[in-house]
Structure 1
Amino acid sequence: MRHGSTVAGIPADLATIARDIGSLLLIESALMGASALVGLAFGEYGVALAFFLAATATLAVGGIARRTFATAPAPQTKHGMVIAAAGWLLTAVFGALPFFLSAHLLSPATAASYIPEGASYAGSSLQYFTNPLHAVFESMSGWTGSGLTMAVHEPSLPRTLLWWRSLMQWVGGVGVIVLTVSILSRPGSGSYTLYRSEAREERIHPSIVSTVRTVWKIFVGYTILAIIVLFGALLVSEPLAPAEAAWQALNHAMTSLATGGFSVTDNSIATYDSPLVETVLLPIMTLGAIAFPIHYAILKNRDFRALLADLQTRWLFVLLGVGIVVLTLQNFQTFAPLLSLRDSAFQFVSALSCTGFQSSPIGQWSAGGKLIMSSAMVLGGAAGSTVGGIKIIRGYTIVRGIRWQFSRVFLPVSAVVTTHIGDRKLDREEMEQEFSEAAIVSLLWVLILIGGSIILSNLVGPGFSYADTLFEVASAQGNVGLSTGITGPSMNPIAEGMLVINMWIGRLEIIPILVFLRSLIYGLNP
C-alpha cells in the first residue's frame, strides 16, 4: 500500500477498515432480517417492526461502507486488529437496536402481555431496554458469548428477543468475523488476516475460507444433535408441552454449544432442578470447549484417540476432573455431599467451558468456592474452540516456559536446547517467543481483571465481598456469564459500562483492543 494513497477521498487504511466493518454489519443486518421473520411467525408484530427497522439501519450503514470502499486494499495485520476491535464494538452497538426499539415501540400493555401466566412479578424485563446502556450490555454479552444479562425475568421478554439473544451467542461463539469470511470472502482477499484478528490460529484446511466453512458445518451438526438430545431430556423430566420443550431445547442447545449461557427460563438451568437435564448438558458444554480441528479429526477419521493425543483436550479433561473434586470438597462445608457433587460438577464444567449456565445459588457459596470458580473462568478451555479466558495452551506454555528457564541455568551457554509443546519441537528462539507471547497476554489479562475487580468493589453495595466482585469481573472478561448477583439493571452505570468493556476485551484477547486504541491516538503508521 503506498503511503498517502486514498480510496473515495479518504486514506486507504481507513477505507480498508470501513469496507470490512461494513461487511460485518451486512451479515448482522441479514440476521436481524431473519429474526424479523421469526417475529412475524410468533405474531409479535411490534417486535418484528423493531427488527425490520434495526436491520434497515444496519444494512444502510454497512452497505454504504462496503460499496463506497469496495476497491480498498486487502487488510494487513494492523488493519485486521482494528477491524476486529471496532467491528465487534459496532456489532454490539447495532445489535442493541432490536432491544432498544422494541422497548420503545411496544406499549406497556403489550409488554405486559408477554409475562407468563401465574408469574410472581408484575413488570416485563422489556422495560429495562429503554435504557440504551442496558441494551448495549445485553448485545455485547450476547455477541461475546458472555451470558450476563439485564433481563431479570427472561420469560417476560417477547420470544423474538429471546431468539435474538440465542442467535447472537450461537453466531458469536464461532465468531462474527468467521461467519463473514465464510460467506463474503474469496481466496486472496485477506481472509487469513481477518481470521487471525479474531484470536484464531488453527487451520483445518490450507484455505481459510474452507476452514471456516468446515467449522460451521461441524457446529451446525452438533447443534442439531444437541437440540434432539435436550428435547428428549426435557420431555422426560419436565411437565412441558412438546412445542415448549422444543423451544427451550432449541435455545439452550444453541447457547450451550456456543458456550454462551443465555437462557429462556427464569433462573437459568436451576429452573429445571433436573439431574437429567444437567447431565445431558455436561457433554454439550464440554464439546464447545474442545478445538474445532480436533472435532474434525474425530469426525473424519473416526479416531477418538485424537482426544487424548491433543495437548489441550487432554489437559481439559484433567482440569475438569481435578476441579470437580476440589470444588466438591470445598462445598462439603456448605451443602450435603450428593448436592455438593452435583452442583460442583455442573458449575465447574460451566465455568471452565465458559458457558455460564447456573444450577446453584453461587452467591451463597463460600469465598473459597468462588475463588476456585474464578480461576476456572480465567483459564477457560481450548484455543480454537468457542470459549473465552486465557486458554489452556497459554497456561501450559507459561508453566513449561518457567521450567525451561530454570533448566537453562544448569546448562552451558553453547548447549542446544529444545523443548516440546504438544507435537511441536521448539528451539531456544521459538520457545522464548512462545513463552513471551503467552506471558504478555496472560499478564495483561490478569492486570485488567484485578483492576476491574478493585473498581467494581468500590461501586457495589456492602452486601458483596471482594470475592464477589472478582468473580463477576472474571465472569465478564472470561465471557462466561455466571453471577453472584451483582449484574442487573439496578447496578451502577459506571460498573455496567466497565463490564461491557471487560466482555469486549475478553472476547478479543486484549491485543486487538490495544492496537485499536493506539490507532485512535497515533494512526496506523509506524
Structure 2
Amino acid sequence: MIGQLRRKDFFIIAEQLGLIMIGIGVVTLIPVLVALIYNETDYISFFLPSVFSIIIGYGLRRIFAGKDGNIKLKHGMMIASIAWLWAAFIGSLILMQATNISFSNAYFESMSAWTGSGLTIFTNVEILPKSVLFLRSIEQWIGGLGVVIVVIGILIRPGTAASRLYKSEAREEKIKPSIQGTVKAIWWIYLFYTALGIILYIFAGMPIFDAINNTFTNLSTGGMSINNNNNIGAYHSDLIYIITIFLMFIGGTSFLVHYRALKGKTKDVLKDIQFRAMIIIVSLFSILLIINAKFAPIEAIFHVVSAISCTGSSIPPLSSMIAWPEYAKIVLIACMIIGGAAGSTAGALKILRVVTVLKGIYWELVRLVAPEGSVLPRKIAGKMVSDVEIKEAGSYTFIYFLFIFISWLVFVQYGYDALNSLYEICSAQGNVGLSMGIISPTMPQIPQAFLIFNMWIGRIEIIPVLVLLRASIGVFNRF
C-alpha cells in the first residue's frame, strides 16, 4: 500500500533526494557570478542557503548510501514532490535575505519561478539586484526542464532510478532508447534553442543581460519579466515580439518534435497531432480576439501563444489587461487550461490529454449508435488508444478542474472578482503567469497559500502530490 511506508522506503527517498538537494544548491550559487560581474556585494544571501542545501543533500547521501534498494514509481513521485518544495524553500531563503520580504511572499515568488508560473509579488522588479533577477530567470530555465530531470541528466547513473525519476515528473516520451540518452538529447536541444534565442534578441537590439534573461524565461515558458508592468512590451519592438512568440511556441512544443525537426524529418513534424493542434488553436483563437475583442493582430497572436504555451509574457501594461473585455479573458482562460504539448516545458492539461478526452467522448457516442458487434478502431495520429489511456486522461482532467474549483471558491469568498479570480487560478495551476492584478505583496495569506499549492500541483501534474499526501497520512496514522 502507498500509505504504508516502511523504513526502507524512507531510505530510498532520502538517498535520491539528497542528490537533488545538492543540485539545487549548485544552481542557486550560479547568480553569485552575476553579482561579481555587476559589482554587487551581497554574496551571503546566495551563499548560505545554497551551501545549506548542498550540506543537507551530501549528508543524506552519506547516511543512506547503499541502503536505497530498488526505487519504485511511488518513490520517484514522492521524491519529485518534495524536491519542488525544497527548491522553493531554498530560493525563498535567498529572496528573504536579498530583498527583505516576508517568508510567505518569498516562498510564493520562489515557487512561481521554479515552476515556471511567472506570477510575481514584486511591484517594482527594476530596483532588484541583477543577481536576484538572474536567480529568478535561471530557476525558470532549470524548472522548465524539471528539477529532477536536470539531476538525472547530470548526476544520476543510468538505470532503474533514472527511469522512475523521469516518469515522476510526468514525462513519458523517449527520444532515445534509454532514459539517460533521452535526457541528454533534451538537454542539447534546450541548450541549442537557448543560444539561438540569446543571439536573436541581441541582433534585435536587446542588451545582453536582458537577452539572456528573456531567453531563459520565454523558452522555459516561465515568463517572469525583468521589466516593470509592460513585460516584453517595454521594448516597443515588433521584431522582439516576434522573436518572443517564436521562443514561446518552441517551449510549448514537444522535445520529440524538435528532435525530428533538427534531424530534418519535416514530414514527421507536420504529422504530429499536438503540433498541428497547437497551430490550429493559435490561429482560431487569435482570429476570435482580433474580430470580437478588437486586438491588434500581433497582440492577439502574442497573447494566445503566451497563454497556450503557458509562458505568461505580455505586451500591454497591467492596467490595460485588467480592462480587457470579458470575452478576451475567457478565450485566454481556455488557452491556459488546454496548455502546450506533452513532452514540452509547458504546463496545464496538455494538448494530447485534451485530444484524448474529446476523442474518447466521440468514440463512446459512435459506439452507442453503431450496430452491435461493430469493431471501432481508436487511434490518435496512427497510434492505438486503450481504454486505460482514455480513463486516465478523463480522471486527470476531472481532478485538475476540481482543484481549480476549490481555489476559486476560496478567492470568491475573500471578495475577489469571480472572472478575474478564475483567470488568476487557471494561470497559477497551468503555470502560465498572465495576471489580472490580484497577486500582490499584501494579499491575504490563505489565498496566497492556495496559489502556491496550485502552482506546485500543476507543475508535477497533481498525482505525485496526491501520492505524497496519501503516504504522509499513512505515516501520521501510526502515531
| Counterpart selection for 1:366 from 315, 322, 325 | 325
Equivalent-residue separation in structure 2 for 1:287 and 1:296 (angstroms)? 12
- What does residue 22 of structure 1 align with? 18
SS at match of 1:386: coil
Q: How many Å separate the matches in 1 of 2:57 and 2:37? A: 27
The aligned residue for residue 60 of structure 1 is 55
- Give 1:37 shift: 2.8
Structure 1 residue 26: deviation in Å?
A: 0.4
- Contact 2:93–2:106, Cα closer than 8 Å, also in 1: yes
Deviation by residue 1:169-216 (Cα, 9 ceiling, x = unmatched) = 000001111001111211224211100110100000111011111101
Q: Which one has a bigger Cα radius of gyration?
A: 1
Q: Which whole-Å CA distance do the structure 1 matches of 2:71 and 2:193 have between them?
A: 32
- Relative to the length of structure 1, the TM-score reads 0.87
1:295 paired with 2:250, answer no
Which of 160, 177, 181 is the matching residue for 2:152? 181
For 1:234 and 1:371, the matched residues in 2 are separated by 35
CA gap 1:278/1:5 in 2 versus in 1, 3 angstroms: closer
Contact 2:221–2:310, Cα closer than 8 Å, also in 1: yes
Are residue 515 (structure 1) and residue 467 (structure 2) matched?
A: yes
In 1: Cα distance, 2:372 partner to 2:79 partner: 43
Give unpaired runs (5+ residues) of structure 2.
none
Contact 1:363 1:484 in 2 (8 A): yes
Q: State yes or no: 1:466 paired with 2:418.
A: yes
- The answer on whether the counterparts of 1:78 and 1:524 sit within 8 Å (CA) in structure 2 is no
Q: When the two structures are superposed, what TM-score results if normalisation uses the length of structure 2?
A: 0.95
| Equivalence for 1:242 | none
Helix, strand or coil at the partner of 1:509: coil
Identity fraction in percent:
36
> Cα distance, 1:273 vs. partner?
2.7
Equivalent residue in structure 2 for 1:494, among 446, 452, 458: 446
Whether 2:369 is the aligned partner of 1:410: answer: yes
Query: Match for 1:155 among 126, 130, 138?
Result: 126
Specify the alignment match of 1:105 in structure 2. none
> Contact 1:260–1:479 at 8 Å: present in 2 too?
yes
Contact 2:218 2:244 (C-alpha < 8 Å) held by counterparts: yes
What residue identity is the alignment partner of 1:455? V
Q: Give the aligned partner of residue 503 of structure 1.
A: 455
Corresponding letter in the other structure for 1:445: Y
How far apart are 1:459 and its partner, in Å?
2.0
The amino acid that maps onto 1:277 is I
1:61-118 deviations in Å (ceiling 9; x for gaps): 111112211111132011111111111111111121211122xxxxxxxxxxxxxxxx
**Structure 1 residue 51 and structure 2 residue 3: aligned?**
no
203, 213, 227: which one aligns with 1:232: 203
Relative contact order (C-alpha < 8 Å, sep 6+): which is higher? 2
Question: In the aligned structure 2, how far is the partner of 1:306 from the partner of 1:357?
Answer: 30
In the alignment, residue 390 of structure 2 is paired with which amino acid? F
Residue type at the aligned position of 1:374: I
How many matched pairs? 471
Q: CA deviation at 1:524?
A: 12
Residues 353, 393 of structure 2: 8 Å contact kept: yes
Which of the residues 390, 399, 402 maps onto 1:444? 399
Please list, as runs of the form range in 1=range in 2, the aligned pairs for 1:107-186 lying within 5 A after superposition. 126-127=99-100, 129=101, 131-186=102-157
Task: Name the residue aligned to 1:85.
Answer: 81
1:311-361 CA-to-partner distances (Å, cap 9, x unmatched) read 1101010111001011222212xxxxxx53232211111101101001123
Contact 1:166 1:254 in 2 (8 A): yes
Give the Cα separation in 2 of the matches to 1:365 and 1:446.
Answer: 24
Q: Which of 208, 212, 228 is equivalent to 1:266?
A: 228
Shift of 1:305: 2.4
Shift of 1:458: 2.2
Q: Deviations over 1:10-59 (max 9, x none)?
A: x110111111111111001111222223222222122x221111111111
Matched AA of 1:478: G
Aligned to 1:213: 184
DSSP-derived class of the 2:330 partner: helix
TM-align CA RMSD: 1.9
In structure 2, the residue matched to 1:32 is 28
Check the 8 A contact 1:234/1:249 in 2, yes or no: no
The AA in structure 2 aligned to 1:383 is A
Deviates further, 485-494 or 161-170: 485-494
Distance 2:391 2:71 in 1: 26
Q: Which moved more, 1:342-351 or 1:156-165?
A: 342-351
Contact 2:427 2:434 in 1 (8 A): yes
User: How much has 1:413 moved relative to structure 2?
Assistant: 4.9
For the 8 Å contact 2:16–2:79, the answer to whether it is kept is yes
Q: C-alpha separation between the residues in 2 aligned to 1:75 and 1:523?
A: 19
Letter in 2 for 1:18: A
- Contact preservation (8 Å) 1:145, 1:169: yes
**Residue-by-residue CA offset, 1:355-403 (whole Å, 9 max, x unaligned):** 1001123211111111111110011010000000000001100111001
Q: Which amino acid aligns with 2:221?
A: T
SS at match of 1:494: helix
- The equivalent residue for 1:113 is none
Distance 1:329 1:21 in 2: 51
Contact 1:19 1:69 in 2 (8 A): yes
Q: For the residues of structure 2 that align with 1:479 and 1:470, how far apart are their CA atoms?
A: 14
Q: Distance in 2 between matches of 1:490 and 1:230?
A: 35
Contact in 2 for aligned 1:475/1:481 (Cα 8 Å)? yes
* 1:420-435 pair list within 5 angstroms: 420-426=379-385, 430=386, 432-435=387-390
Question: Runs of 5+ in structure 1 lacking a partner?
Answer: 103-125, 236-244, 333-338
Superposed displacement of residue 5, structure 1: 11
1:454 aligns with 2:384: no
CA contact under 8 A between 1:27 and 1:180: conserved in structure 2? yes
Matches of 2:61 and 2:301 in 1, distance apart? 47
Secondary structure of residue in 2 paired with 1:387: coil
- Give CA deviations for 1:385-430 in whole Å, capped at 9, x if unaligned: 000000000110011100111111134554333211112124xxx2
Query: In 1, distance between residues paired with 2:80 and 2:372?
Result: 42
Q: Which residue of 2 aligns with 1:282?
A: 245
Structure 2 residue corresponding to 1:304, chosen from 228, 252, 266: 266
